[in-house]
Structure 1
Amino acid sequence: MKALTWKLVILTGVTVLLLIVLTRIGWLVSERQERQRGAEAGVAAAQAGPQVLLGPIVQRQCTEEWKALDKDLTLTPQRRDFVLSAMPTELSIDGALAQEPRYRGLFKINAYAGKVALHAQWSSLAALTPKAERNGALRCDEPHMMVAVSDSRGLRAVSVKRGDTPLVVAPGTLNDSYPRGLHADLKGLALDQPLTLSVNIDLVGMTDFGVVPAASSTQVKLRSDWPHPSFGGRFLPATSEVRPDGFEASWLVTELATTALRDVAAGRALPTVDRDAELVDYAVPARGDNAGARITDTLAFSMVDPVNPYVMSDRAIKYGLLFIVLTFVSVGLLELLAGRRVHPVQYLLVGLAMTLFFLLLLSLSEHLSFPLSYGIAASAVVGLLVFYGGAMLGSARRGLGFGALVGTLYGALFVLLNLEKAALLVGALLLFAVLAAVMTLTRRFDWYRLGLGGRMLDATARAD
């Protein structure tokens, strides 16, 4: 019995050693993920990052001047500068964004390019009429429209029309809270008349795209050839259709459901819709009383890669210890059934082969598709274990049986990696099936005699 006890102790130590190796491979996966994020930051710094659109908004810069008594009872000139804003009554946005991936070394960065058409209507511009707070003299500049973006380097081309009349587009928004973007003067604008503006933008961005619903009624339609969108922001699409060749989605938001109009009027900064906001932050912080505050409401989507090799490798490694233990159980069963002793060093070599699978998977998936990388890595390890198992267990037939067991485990792992919603259920059923098989195959073993070198089947088994 002491021999069996010592063998179990040694196998426990082997398992701990393999767990350390798995942990080190997990660190390597994390390091590669960090390098990928660094590559994304480099591409964003060299081209354009995630984009959020705000506008069009009609604004007017005004000044109120008056005289007030100071502490010496002397009249001194006073001045107040302020900006009046008129949000659209109706805002319609139609965008078509196509994949335009970028590469930095081994790393692929999801990016997009396309056209976004904004059509805005104002039933009234009364909000642009100034009101004196100190009974002073008011002076206002000509109104102008502005569209703000997170990263103005992504503006390839822009055209603006007032009705059917083209307007001259200039860089910048003339708004300190949203400095990145464009503006166009609206000379001779009648504040008691409705207004219609059309803005067409050729836009480039990376991974994430969002729209601020700063209108009484906002309708957004987006199309893309990216087949794996993740809809984010504060509002999910009212309708969406995701196909293998892309997606279509539409949103409808009214001022009753959003605080975007109030946030824009307060000068809050554009929100960030990128998933790694702590790594790359393109929004300009708000100023004054709104320092650090951002607009809370967006309509957004992200170009999510469901088979990211580092994410999939990380998920696979989380099952690593479980599958090594199951492999050891398989070896132990074959050892009992074949009546052939397997040395702990042989267990260690089998465990190292299983561990090497995850390193092969990680390295291959950086160059090949994940399913192909998985198939190559699993085939290499199964082939090695069939070859070694034949010598370890005393016959080629037993080696093939051992390889079939390991191959089944790898097949189950691949299914688990591709099942997001049902992964827990399938994993639990798999473990139950393995336990049931072990209990069935060993139900007649005389475990007390194993440590004494006696026969493994009791008298009942012989009678059967």
Structure 2
Amino acid sequence: MKHPLFAKIAALAAVGMLLLFGLGLIKDVVRDRQLYRSAAAHGVAQSLAGPQTLIGPLVHSACVESWDETVGTGAERRTEERRREFLLTAPPERLQVQSAALMQERARGLHKVNAYTLKAHLTAQWPDLAALRPEGTVRGSRMQCGAPILMLAVQDARGIRAAQVDVDGSAQVLRPGTFHPVYARGLHAALPEGLRHREGVLTAALDLELVGTERLAIVPLGGTTEVQMQSTWPHPSFAGRFLPSEREVGDGGFTARWRLSSLATTAQQDIAKGRTVCDTPGDGGDRCADSFSVAFVDPVNPYTLSDRAAKYGVLFIALTFVAVGLFELMSNGPHAPPLRGSLPPEGAAFSSWDGPATKRLRVHPVQYLLVGSALCSFFLLLVSLSEHLPFGLSYALAAGACVLLLGYYASHMLGGRWRGLPFGAGIALLYGLLYVLLQLEQTALVVGAVALFAVLAAVMVLTRKVDWYGLAARRMPVQEVAA
């Protein structure tokens, strides 16, 4: 062939495209498994209860204003009754929530979902219920209002396991539903009509046991809202419009405290307008009611980590091909030692022997393809093993298998075990670096950038004296090294 170097570059480019296609298929597998896990989480939520949102306690009363209006003229003049229906709401002036979330792991097939049982004690105080006293908009109108309703709304009422409420020290009967036109799921207690006009502080204490999955959100409905939450889950993700003012996170769980004022939130106005509480608080802007949340996330989600690992696949293949090319280049240099099987006859000197001593190391594109395929298989092994074993153990098994395979193959491909061992050690170092990057979150980019710069510097130092034009012009007869 007239230009063997360019032909090999073209062949390696074709090999690279095949490997990129294979990596794409593996990423599709990881994404499919992620979808299966999402479907499993949805299935658990359908059978148990979904993410929960607490709204309340809140007191409301449905009212109707009616009046007589004369319409028509002359003989057609008549009197008709007009009606206006409206809802009066009274958010608490002070709201305190003491809660503890006990984690329960649920599974659907291979996939695990974080469920919790929330035990909460809510205390709400109103200075009075003046907000429930209706005011007419038409002179001489008639007012009719239903009894005041104390309500607590939740996102999924199937999760309510137990509840009881005391109003001013007197136990009240709780019933399902809220009688609220927007936040209909939850529970309520009908209050005596006399409380509407009573002067003095009204106090309600509610004990609630609630089951949910993956996330818990709370609407800061009080004039001042204080929430304390404890859980044995060590990996909380705080989100929404407000982060905790205090939090302690450790291996044994977390404790978080929120202290909010109605001066800092529009939650009372949002609920009065009937705005929805978004599934992901804070993402809906002005269309969503203010809330804050805690997500019980799993930091060692095997699919997320496998997806992150697969994104480094192209870099793995590129660095490995560079390493193989360096071995091939350095082995064919002017001071390279003879390959295995190329010793001169007994009594002959290397300097005067021109037989098999001219034998050069050449790595066939098929061998590059096999090495790249082994690297790609690591990511498939990782995601499949991590469905049954802890991620760290799965990573060690997949990486160990690939390092042993590549080290063994390289010892034959590169013409000796002393070339194969450094090659296998380099692959092991790459896998170790990737594992470190997967464990890091905030510093993953800087560590990866520094490591990549170090590899580039090493390649430049090793090839600083290579005559690249000489490589293309060289016309020495070559012979493939037997594997």
TM-score calculated relative to the size of structure 2: 0.88
C-alpha contact (below 8 Å) 1:129/1:191 kept by paired residues: no
The number of aligned residues is: 441
C-alpha contact (below 8 Å) 1:264/1:295 kept by paired residues: no
Q: Please point out which of 410, 413, 426 is paired with 2:447.
A: 426
Residues 164 and 353 from structure 1, CA distance in 2 versus in 1: closer, same or farther, beyond 3 angstroms? same
Cα distance in structure 1, aligned partners of 2:203 and 2:288: 25
1:299, distance to aligned residue in structure 2 (A): 1.6
Deviations 1:40-70 (A, max 9, x none): 1111111110100000011122222211122
1:452, distance to aligned residue in structure 2 (A): 4.4
**One-letter identity of the residue aligned with 2:18:** L
- Dislocated runs of 4+, deviation >3 Å: 273-277, 292-295, 451-455
Cα distance in structure 2, aligned partners of 1:359 and 1:201: 45
Cα distance in structure 1, aligned partners of 2:390 and 2:185: 39
Deviations 1:223-275 (A, max 9, x none): 11111111011001101111111111111111111111111111223332389
5+ residue gaps in structure 2? 333-360, 477-483
**One-letter identity of the residue aligned with 1:323:** F
C-alpha contact (below 8 Å) 1:52/1:271 kept by paired residues: no
SS of structure 2 residue aligned to 1:123 = strand
1:293, distance to aligned residue in structure 2 (A): 8.2
1:451, distance to aligned residue in structure 2 (A): 3.4
Residues 454 and 405 from structure 1, CA distance in 2 versus in 1: closer, same or farther, beyond 3 angstroms? farther
Q: Please point out which of 285, 306, 311 is paired with 2:304.
A: 311
C-alpha contact (below 8 Å) 2:281/2:292 kept by paired residues: no
Tell me, yes or no, if structure 1 residue 29 matches structure 2 residue 22.
Answer: no
> 2:461 matched to which residue of 1?
440
C-alpha contact (below 8 Å) 1:22/1:355 kept by paired residues: yes
Q: Please, which moves more after superposition, 154-163 or 54-63?
A: 54-63
Tell me, yes or no, if structure 1 residue 179 matches structure 2 residue 184.
Answer: yes
1:87, distance to aligned residue in structure 2 (A): 0.7
> 1:289 matched to which residue of 2?
none
Residues 408 and 276 from structure 1, CA distance in 2 versus in 1: closer, same or farther, beyond 3 angstroms? farther
Q: Please point out which of 112, 115, 128 is paired with 1:111.
A: 115
SS of structure 2 residue aligned to 1:347 = helix
Q: Please point out which of 386, 389, 399 is paired with 2:410.
A: 389
**One-letter identity of the residue aligned with 2:296:** M
Tell me, yes or no, if structure 1 residue 130 matches structure 2 residue 137.
Answer: no
Tell me, yes or no, if structure 1 residue 141 matches structure 2 residue 146.
Answer: yes
SS of structure 1 residue aligned to 2:46 = helix
C-alpha contact (below 8 Å) 2:122/2:206 kept by paired residues: yes
Cα distance in structure 1, aligned partners of 2:169 and 2:298: 41
Deviations 1:17-47 (A, max 9, x none): 1001001111111111111111111111111
Give the fraction of aligned pairs with identical amino acids, expressed as a percent: 49
SS of structure 2 residue aligned to 1:435 = helix
**One-letter identity of the residue aligned with 1:121:** Q
Tell me, yes or no, if structure 1 residue 246 matches structure 2 residue 239.
Answer: no
Residues 276 and 48 from structure 1, CA distance in 2 versus in 1: closer, same or farther, beyond 3 angstroms? farther
Cα distance in structure 2, aligned partners of 1:344 and 1:81: 80
> 1:449 matched to which residue of 2?
470
1:454, distance to aligned residue in structure 2 (A): 6.9
> 1:368 matched to which residue of 2?
389
The 5 Å alignment of 1:275-354 reads 294-339=287-332, 340-354=361-375
SS of structure 2 residue aligned to 1:341 = coil
Residues 317 and 155 from structure 1, CA distance in 2 versus in 1: closer, same or farther, beyond 3 angstroms? same
1:205, distance to aligned residue in structure 2 (A): 0.5
TM-score calculated relative to the size of structure 1: 0.92
1:453, distance to aligned residue in structure 2 (A): 4.4
Deviations 1:368-413 (A, max 9, x none): 1111111100000000011111111111121111100111111111
5+ residue gaps in structure 1? 278-291, 456-464
Structure number with larger C-alpha Rg = 2
> 1:408 matched to which residue of 2?
429
C-alpha contact (below 8 Å) 1:173/1:182 kept by paired residues: yes
Tell me, yes or no, if structure 1 residue 213 matches structure 2 residue 220.
Answer: yes
SS of structure 2 residue aligned to 1:451 = helix
Residues 59 and 276 from structure 1, CA distance in 2 versus in 1: closer, same or farther, beyond 3 angstroms? closer
> 2:7 matched to which residue of 1?
6
Tell me, yes or no, if structure 1 residue 266 matches structure 2 residue 267.
Answer: no
1:430, distance to aligned residue in structure 2 (A): 1.1
Cα distance in structure 1, aligned partners of 2:53 and 2:18: 49
> 1:50 matched to which residue of 2?
51
SS of structure 2 residue aligned to 1:6 = helix
Tell me, yes or no, if structure 1 residue 222 matches structure 2 residue 226.
Answer: no
SS of structure 2 residue aligned to 1:130 = coil
Cα distance in structure 2, aligned partners of 1:276 and 1:200: 30
The 5 Å alignment of 1:60-139 reads 60-71=61-72, 72-134=76-138, 135-139=140-144
**One-letter identity of the residue aligned with 1:15:** G
> 2:173 matched to which residue of 1?
168
Cα distance in structure 2, aligned partners of 1:266 and 1:328: 62
